[in-house]
Structures are given as structure tokens and as C-alpha cells.
Amino acid sequence: MASPLALTSGEPAGIGPDIALAAWLRRGEFDLPPFYLLGDRGFFAERAKILGLKIDLVDVAPEDAAKAFATTLPVVATGEVATARPGQPDDASASVVLAAIRRAVDDVRRGRAGAIVTNPIAKSVLHRAGFRHPGHTEFLAELAADGGRAPQPVMMLWSPALAVVPVTVHLSLREALDRLSTDLIVTTARIAVADLRARFGRARPRLVVSGLNPHAGEHGAFGEEDIVIITPAVEALRAEGIDVRGPLPADTMFHAAARNSYDCAICMYHDQALIPIKTIAFEDAVNVTLGLPFIRTSPDHGTAFDIAGSGKANPSSLIAALRLAARMAAVKSA
């Protein structure tokens, strides 16, 4: 039997606990892989009560989670107890969130879990507690280093219809332009190709690389960056034997016929990548972290404090994240 997935509930005051409970209730409908929830069983039982859900929760060791999953929601304790109420962030939640992430990484690295699926965190809560990372991804990279050099994580947004990788991520547009370089494009694309091969089963991944400026610069008429920065990156990748095209005008890359011609689009900045995928696959897009020595997926949305505890949260993206994590783990172990 494959190892279960380790699922963190994310920010306790957000919708992470809500959608985790909802996903387990729909486990048969979507043929979900076995997973266990990291945290305090009493907290999850209270949230289920608030939501009016009848769920049997049981404390287990990770190795017993798969056996319990069919009839009960397995919970692996982290030693931290959440106190936050729905929609009311509590500074004490920082230790709860970080303990769950650390335990998930430890479990997957020891083979007790097949992959990690993380629910959204509230960065403001963590930063007030002294958390020095921009977000989940950078913290996971540090944990993956295990005292050595941290790997370079790359964010992919994946859906059945489209997969995109932004070269620059959470930066202002002005900062993104300053940060963009030929080396960064090449490194990002290499990491994407490696994981497309190893974890998505694509023997020869097909990439497209977007231009930066309108019409990919129109041969320099609308800026030199496409000629000076992006074209050399595409040429370097092609010289390595990678199937890649570009720079292509971003405004014609994402219609249905274009999407059928590639496996992943490498985009120059955050919105250039995320606007198309959130338009095409808003409810079932999955955030995948590439470049780590373990598999990590996450729903592609935030904490949604305004609807936490109301029963309105849609678990579709989490369900997609769980299914994709299991699929990637199966490819990796094949």
C-alpha cells in the first residue's frame, strides 16, 4: 500500500480546516488517496461541530492512517493546540502552523508520508511571530536543506488544461523587471523540465517561453528585453536538447489550440502566468512546488477569513491538490 499523504490544515482561523474536513467527506466521490491531517484532534472536532458536520476523527501514527482512512479521519498530533476561532486570526497560531509543516516534512523524508499537501497560511500571523520567510515555499526549501544548501524552489500552477511557471513571483512589476535575467530563466526552466520528467511522467516535456513586452517586443520596437534577455535563454535551453519555443507573444499563448502544443508555459512575471490559469481553471488549479526533494502541492487560494466556519468554502482546489500529489507520488515510485 502506498504511503498516505500528509495534510496540513494551514492557518487555523482560515478555511483550511473547513476544506480538509469537507475533502474527507467526499473521499469516495473523488476516489481520494488516503491522507492524515496534522494537528490537534480536539480543534478539528470543534470545527466540524461549528460546520454541522458529523465526522469521526481518530489519533493515529502515520503508518496506521491508510487503514483508518475509510471510516475515520486520521489525525497525527503535533503537540500544538490551536485556539483561533473561524475568521479571527490568533497570534498563538504561528507555532501550530509551523509545527505541522515541520512534521509533514519530517514524515515525507522518513518515508512515513508519500507527499505533502499544505493548506493556506496567514503570512501576517507568522511574520508577527518572527517568521523570516516570504511564505510556505521558502520555508519548505530551508527544511529540505537539512543543514546543507537549500534547493531553489520553483512555483508551478497546474490544471488539466494548463500548467504555468512564473520566473519571477511575488515582486512588484518594477522589481520583477530588475530581477529578470537569462540565467534565472534557464535555471527555472531546467527545474521545471526535471520535475516534468520525474514526477509528471513526461519523457520529453514541451516548453514555451513567453515574451516580456507586447508582441514579444516586435523585433525590438517595444523593448529590447525579449532580444537581449529571453532569446539567449531559449537558445541555451534548446542547445541542451530541451524542446522549447519562444519568446512568444503572451497574448496568443493561452487559447485552446495553443495550449495543446505544449506541456508547460514559462512566463516572465506573476500575473502573466496566473491570470490565464485562474481564468481557465479557477476552482481546480493546484500550486506545485518544483525543485524540492519531496512532493508538495497546495490549493491555489488563500485563507478566506471572511467565510471560515460558514460552510461556504469550496474544497475543489484541495481535492485537486490531493489527487495530483498522489499521482506525482505514483510516477516517482514507478
Band of pLDDT at residue 254, cut at 50, 70 and 90: very high
| Domains defined for the chain, CATH in brackets | 5-151+293-333 (3.40.718.10), 161-278 (3.40.718.10)
- From CA 11, how far away is CA 274, in angstroms rounded? 23
Model confidence over 143-197: pLDDT tens digits? Answer: 998 767 878 999 999 999 999 999 998 889 899 999 999 999 999 999 999 999 9
Share of the chain above pLDDT 90, in %: 81
Which of the two residues, 91 and 53, has the higher pLDDT score? 53
Model confidence over 266-303: pLDDT tens digits? Answer: 999 999 999 999 999 988 899 999 999 999 999 988 99
Cβ atoms of 266 and 206 closer than 8 Å: no
Sequence-ordered strand ranges (E) for the chain: 5-8, 35-38, 57-59, 73-76, 116-118, 154-158, 163-166, 206-210, 243-248, 264-267, 286-290, 296-299
- From CA 100, how far away is CA 77, in angstroms rounded? 9
Q: Which residues pair with 146 in a beta bridge?
A: none
Report the mean per-residue pLDDT for the chain: 94
For 172-183, give the DSSP string. -HHHHHHH--HH
Give residue 1's pLDDT.
54
Give residue 162's pLDDT.
97
Give residue 17's pLDDT.
97
Mean pLDDT of 126-137: 85
Which of the two residues, 227 and 283, has the higher pLDDT score? 227
Residue of 138, 167, 168 whose CA lies nearest to 151:
138
Maximum CA extent, the chain: 64
- Find the length of the chain: 334
Give residue 52's pLDDT.
97
Model confidence over 51-86: pLDDT tens digits? Answer: 999 999 999 999 999 999 999 999 999 999 999 999
Give residue 148's pLDDT.
74
Band of pLDDT at residue 326, cut at 50, 70 and 90: very high
Does 333 have pLDDT greater than 80? no
Cell of 15: 478555511
Does 122 have pLDDT greater than 80? yes
Give residue 174's pLDDT.
92
Share of the chain above pLDDT 70, in %: 98
Does 332 have pLDDT greater than 80? no
Does 217 have pLDDT greater than 70? no
Measured in degrees and rounded to the nearest 5, phi and psi for residue 175 equal -65, -40
